[in-house]
């Protein structure tokens, strides 16, 4: 699943290419996404100008004059841009998934002046929703602050964890506590913080909490700068390479030596709440 850095890269790609473009036409080939695409979706968005593209947590937001179109990529969704005049081999707006447009599962297509914007999603867990401003604010009411937001501070984390028995790995994946972190970055954050993923939130020390705050922000910022993470290495629509997968300290490094200095442990893999978690039990306490 694309996490905050990967969605931020999509946002940056769209902002660079389609900002101020008018939607000439929309074709919906499959309305059965996580939520049904409304029957009047094409009519509502037709001839609207894309004034701005923003991101909230793992959500993309198209600002369309008086309305907003919220896009969530789900487990396997990707957005591709096809230049309508000059054929471009690399179409993916991020580094997640396939660099070129797949032949199957292209569910929604936006026709703009210069580009065709295509939403591809094999598992169909993503969605498109349309909101007026007040409803948009209501929609985001139940998610926590991003790690990059000043609201995600030591006082907020400490107060949230009082008497909480749930383990810290599950809290980092809980979007009501902090939004935008997924499975990859949760493992990386806990490794750099030297915290065992099974440690109960209420047992975290002040030093632990400082490390969680610091490394959550630091790692996500590094991932954004390097284009996000991908198991595959390819160029995006801008012709750039995503490189953060080369920085992984523990994720997908099972049985390899721990990278912490003076630690002679090996990276272990454990399934926690049905999610693969990578850590070093020797230096993560």
Task: For the chain, list residues with pLDDT below 70.
Answer: 230-242
Classify residue 144: in a domain, yes or no: no
Confidence at residue 228, expressed as pLDDT on a 0 to 100 scale: 77
pLDDT in tens, 64-92: 989 999 999 999 999 999 998 888 888 99
pLDDT in tens, 156-175: 999 999 999 999 999 999 99
Tell me if 229 sits within 8 A of 245, measured CB to CB: yes
Distance CA 92, CA 227 (A): 12
Name the burial class of residue 248, with classes exposed (0-12), middle (13-18) and buried (19+) by CB atoms within 10 angstroms of its CB. Answer: middle
CB neighbours (10 Å) of residue 189?
Answer: 26
Domain termination site, one of 112, 139, 166: 139
Measured at the CA of 123, the angle between CA 119 and CA 124, to 5 degrees, comes to 55
Q: Is 275 a catalytic residue?
A: yes
Q: What range defines the domain where residue 186 resides?
A: 154-279
Q: Where are the alpha helices (DSSP H) in 22-150?
A: 41-45, 133-139
Question: pTM, whole model, 2 decimals?
Answer: 0.91
Confidence at residue 235, expressed as pLDDT on a 0 to 100 scale: 53
Q: Is 48 a catalytic residue?
A: no
Which one of 164, 249, 275, 282 is the catalytic residue?
275
Which one of 3, 6, 8, 188 is the catalytic residue?
3
Q: What 3-state DSSP class applies to 218?
A: helix
Classify residue 285: in a domain, yes or no: no
Domain termination site, one of 106, 139, 172: 139
Confidence at residue 152, expressed as pLDDT on a 0 to 100 scale: 98
Residue 248 sits in a domain of what CATH number?
Answer: 1.10.8.50
19 and 59 fall within a common domain: yes
Confidence at residue 232, expressed as pLDDT on a 0 to 100 scale: 53
20 and 114 fall within a common domain: yes
Q: Is 109 a catalytic residue?
A: no
261 and 159 fall within a common domain: yes
Residue 105 sits in a domain of what CATH number?
Answer: 3.20.190.10
Classify residue 131: in a domain, yes or no: yes
Name the burial class of residue 18, with classes exposed (0-12), middle (13-18) and buried (19+) by CB atoms within 10 angstroms of its CB. Answer: buried
Confidence at residue 271, expressed as pLDDT on a 0 to 100 scale: 97
Q: Is 2 a catalytic residue?
A: yes
- Arithmetic mean of pLDDT over the chain: 93
Which one of 48, 55, 56, 58 is the catalytic residue?
58
Distance CA 62, CA 53 (A): 5
Q: Where are the alpha helices (DSSP H) in 56-150?
A: 133-139
């Amino acid at each position: 699943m694309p996490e905050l850095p990967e969605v931020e890269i999509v946002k940056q790609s769209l902002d660079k290419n389609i900002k101020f473009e008018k939607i000439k036409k929309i074709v919906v080939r499959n309305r059965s996404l996580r939520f049904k695409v409304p029957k009047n979706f094409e009519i509502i968005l037709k001839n609207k100008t894309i004034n701005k593209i923003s991101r909230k947590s793992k959500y993309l937001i198209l600002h369309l004059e008086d309305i907003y179109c919220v896009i969530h990529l789900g487990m396997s969704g990707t957005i591709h841009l096809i230049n309508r005049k000059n054929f471009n081999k690399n179409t993916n707006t991020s580094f997640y998934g396939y660099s070129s447009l797949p032949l199957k599962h292209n569910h929604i297509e936006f026709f703009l002046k210069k580009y065709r914007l295509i939403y591809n999603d094999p598992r169909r867990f993503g969605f498109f929703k349309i909101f007026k401003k007040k409803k948009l604010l209501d929609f985001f009411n139940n998610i926590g602050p991003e790690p990059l937001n000043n609201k995600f501070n030591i006082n907020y984390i400490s107060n949230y964890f009082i008497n909480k028995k749930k383990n810290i790995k599950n809290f980092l994946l809980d979007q009501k506590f902090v939004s935008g972190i997924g499975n990859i970055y949760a493992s990386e954050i806990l490794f750099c913080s030297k915290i065992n993923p099974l440690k109960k939130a209420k047992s975290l020390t002040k030093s632990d909490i400082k490390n969680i705050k610091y490394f959550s922000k630091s790692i996500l910022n590094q991932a954004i700068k390097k284009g996000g993470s991908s198991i595959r290495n390819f160029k995006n629509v801008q012709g750039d390479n995503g490189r953060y997968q080369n920085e992984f300290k523990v994720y997908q490094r099972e049985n390899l030596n721990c990278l912490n200095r003076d630690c002679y442990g090996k990276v272990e893999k454990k399934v926690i709440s049905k999610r693969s978690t990578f850590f070093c039990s020797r230096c993560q306490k």
